[in-house]
C-alpha cells in the first residue's frame, strides 16, 4: 500500500498550428519538420491563460474521480509559464476549483516539472498524512516562442495535464472507520446517508485503474553554458538594453544530454526496485523529439512499441508533456490485462533537470 494515481485529465486549446501554416511564417516546410522532430501540429492558446488551461485539466481529473474536492490536501503546479508570481498559480487553481483550504505551491523544473512534482507530492502525502493530492503540469509556451526562429518555433506548443494521487493507507483506514460506523448504527443500506457516500460512491464512479508509485529518481545539472534557457540574463541584449523573452536552445547539446540521462533514469529506477526490463509494458517519455525517443529505445534495448508518443499532435509542451501523454496512455492502453506489470515515465529539460517515476499497474 502506498501512493497511487487514480485519475488523470488533460486540456489543450482548440486552435491548431500545423506545419503547413508554419511554413508561411518562417523558412521551413512540413517534410523538414517531420523528419527532424516527428511533429505535425501543436496547439496554441490565444484566449486561455496558463492557469485556465490548467484549471480545465484539473476539473476533468476531479470529475472523473468522484471524490470530494475538499479532501485534496496538496496541489503542486509545475510550469515555467505561470501567469503570476504571487499569488501562486496553484492557489489560484485551488480557488477556482472551490477548494476551501489546501497546501499549494508552484514548482519550476522545466520539462521535468511533472516528474519532480510527483516525487515531492508523494513524499509530502506520506509525511503529512494527506489523503489526496493534485499534480498539474501546464504551459503556454507560445508567449516565449520567437516565431522567426525556425530552429525553435517548430517545436513548442501549449497544453495542460493533471493527475490525482491517493494515499491508499488513509483511504483504507477511513473506509474501515465508515464501515464500522455504518455497521454499528445499522446504516449500511442507506447509501445516500452522509456517512456512507465516501467509500460507496467513489467505488461506483471512479474509473477502475490505479498506478502505484513504486519509485522515483530525480536529479539535475547546472546548465552553465545555457544550452536551454528562457528569459535568461545570458540573453541580455546590451545594444537595445532589453532582456530576451524567447526560448533559446542548443538542439545538438540537448539531444546529447537527453539521450545520456534518459538511460540513467531507466537503469536507476529498475535497479532500485529490482525490476526487469521485461516487466515494463509501457514507457511515457517527455515528448520532445522523435529522434530522442528512438535513440533512447535503441540504447535501453526496450522496443520502440513500448514507448508512448503523441508529440506528432502536441509538440513539446514542457511540464505538460508527460501528464498529457499519461492521460492519453491510460485511456488507450489495456491496463486491466496488464495488472502487476510496470510503467515508466521520464523527462529531461532546462536546468538541466531529469528524472523518472516507476509505476505498478494495480
Q: Which residues are catalytic?
A: 111, 286, 316
Beta-carbon count within 10 A of 133 CB: 26
Residue found by looking up cell 488507450 in the block: 332
Instruction: Spell out the alpha helix ranges (H) of the chain.
Output: 19-22, 30-37, 50-65, 89-97, 113-127, 168-184, 197-205, 251-273, 290-300, 311-314, 321-332
Query: Nine-digit cell at 361?
Result: 499497474
Q: What burial class does residue 332 get, using C-beta atoms within 10 Å of its C-beta: 0-12 exposed, 13-18 middle, 19+ buried? A: exposed
Nearest CA-CA partner of 111 in 138, 145, 82: 138
Q: Are 133 and 72 in contact (CB under 8 A)?
A: yes
Alpha carbons 160 and 87: distance in angstroms, whole number: 19
Q: Are 137 and 117 in contact (CB under 8 A)?
A: yes
**Number of helical H runs and strand E runs in the chain:** 11, 13
Amino acid at each position: 500500500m502506498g501512493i497511487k494515481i487514480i485519475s488523470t485529465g488533460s486540456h489543450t486549446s482548440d486552435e491548431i498550428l500545423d506545419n503547413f501554416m508554419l511554413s508561411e511564417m518562417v523558412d521551413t516546410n512540413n517534410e523538414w519538420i517531420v523528419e527532424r522532430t516527428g511533429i505535425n501540429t501543436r496547439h496554441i492558446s490565444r484566449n486561455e491563460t496558463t492557469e485556465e488551461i490548467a484549471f480545465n485539466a484539473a476539473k476533468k481529473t476531479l470529475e472523473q474521480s468522484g471524490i470530494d474536492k475538499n479532501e485534496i490536501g496538496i496541489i503542486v503546479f509545475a510550469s515555467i509559464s505561470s501567469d503570476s508570481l504571487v499569488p501562486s498559480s496553484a492557489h489560484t487553481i485551488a480557488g477556482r476549483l472551490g477548494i476551501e483550504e489546501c497546501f499549494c505551491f508552484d514548482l519550476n523544473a522545466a520539462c521535468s516539472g511533472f516528474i519532480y512534482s510527483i516525487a515531492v507530492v508523494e513524499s509530502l502525502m506520506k509525511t503529512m498524512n494527506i489523503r489526496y493530492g493534485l499534480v498539474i503540469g501546464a504551459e503556454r509556451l507560445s508567449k516565449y516562442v520567437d516565431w522567426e526562429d525556425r530552429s525553435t518555433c517548430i517545436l513548442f506548443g501549449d497544453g495542460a495535464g493533471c493527475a490525482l494521487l491517493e494515499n491508499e493507507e488513509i483511504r483504507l483506514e477511513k473506509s474501515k472507520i465508515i464501515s464500522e460506523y455504518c455497521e454499528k448504527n445499522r446504516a449500511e443500506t442507506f447509501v445516500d446517508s452522509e456517512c456512507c457516500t465516501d467509500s460507496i460512491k467513489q467505488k461506483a464512479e471512479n474509473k477502475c485503474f490505479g498506478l502505484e508509485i513504486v519509485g522515483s529518481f530525480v536529479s539535475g545539472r547546472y546548465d552553465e553554458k545555457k544550452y536551454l534557457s528562457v528569459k535568461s540574463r545570458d540573453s541580455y541584449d546590451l545594444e537595445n538594453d532589453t532582456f530576451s523573452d524567447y526560448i533559446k536552445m542548443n538542439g545538438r547539446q540537448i539531444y546529447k544530454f537527453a539521450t545520456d540521462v534518459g538511460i540513467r533514469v531507466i537503469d536507476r529506477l529498475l535497479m532500485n526496485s529490482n525490476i526487469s526490463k521485461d516487466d515494463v509494458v509501457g514507457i511515457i517519455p517527455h515528448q520532445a523529439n522523435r529522434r530522442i525517443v528512438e535513440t533512447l529505445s535503441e540504447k535501453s534495448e526496450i522496443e520502440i512499441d513500448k514507448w508512448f508518443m503523441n508529440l506528432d499532435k502536441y509538440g513539446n509542451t514542457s511540464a505538460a508533456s508527460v501528464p498529457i501523454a499519461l492521460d492519453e496512455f491510460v485511456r488507450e492502453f489495456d491496463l486491466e490485462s496488464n495488472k502487476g506489470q510496470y510503467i515508466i515515465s521520464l523527462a529531461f529539460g532546462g536546468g538541466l533537470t531529469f528524472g523518472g517515476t516507476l509505476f505498478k499497474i494495480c
